[in-house]
Amino acid sequence: MKLVVGLGNPGRRYARTRHNLGFMLLDRIADATDTRIGDERCESLVGRGRWDQESLVLAKPQTYMNNSGLAVAALVKRFQVRGADLVVAYDDLDLPFGRLRIRCGGSAGGHRGLASILQYVADRDFVRLRMGIGRPPAGVDAVDYVLSRFSPEEKGALDGVLTKAAEAVEVIVFKGPVSAMENFNRVA
């Protein structure tokens, strides 16, 4: 079983913001796997399904980004997954828009949602899928930037970014994170 968690903030106010890129990715994977995300469990919206022969749990923590660790720890315990079977997808300011970076282990890199997960989840060798949103323009606060909606140019490219990120998760699930790193970390 693989547990794929997309980070974001609950509610309509945040629905299409940069910080909810993880939620958007889970919606894309749910569509591809015919999985309904809607069961309330472990402070998350959860969907259980299959991706070919692999059991899959898709989860959107409802604890708000900065407290994601509370939900993820409960999900890990509930579904009894080890770090290698946990994939966490989230937005990243330090990558250009549309760029993906996959890795296992490491630090939070300043991302508060990931820092919360590292605080509450014992096995830190889970797979991280960072999705670039780029840096804010000069004079724009980082918090305001991540909570803002995508620019018209970004909206035009967003579908392709989500498709590429869903493909990366598929490679992680079926071929492992090393193969995904080789195929997606170098792609601009």
State pLDDT tens for residues 113-162.
999 999 999 999 999 999 999 999 999 999 999 999 999 999 999 999 99
Burial 167-179 (b: 16+ CB within 10 A, else e): bbbbbbbeeebee
Residue with tokens 């591809």: 32
**Active-site residue 111, yes or no?**
no
* pLDDT for 181: 96
- What does pLDDT average to over the chain? 96
Determine whether 180 is exposed, middle or buried from the number of CB atoms within 10 Å of its CB (0-12, 13-18, 19+).
buried
* pLDDT for 21: 98
Q: Does domain 2-184 have CATH number 3.40.50.1470?
A: yes
3-class DSSP assignment, residue 80: coil
Using CA atoms, how far residue 2 sits from 80, 93, 99, in Å, is 10, 26, 23
The catalytically annotated residue of 19, 28, 60, 99 is 19
Arithmetic mean of pLDDT, 12-23: 96
* pLDDT for 186: 77
H or E stretch covering 161: helix 152-175
81's tokens: 């997954």
Gap between the Cα atoms of 104 and 60, Å rounded: 20
Q: Which strands sit side by side in the sheet containing 100-104, from one edge to the other?
A: 39-41, 44-51, 54-61, 2-6, 86-92, 127-132, 100-104
* pLDDT for 187: 59
Is residue 172 predicted with pLDDT exceeding 60? yes
| pLDDT band at 188; cut points 50, 70, 90 | low
Phi, psi of 133 (to 5 degrees): -120, -5
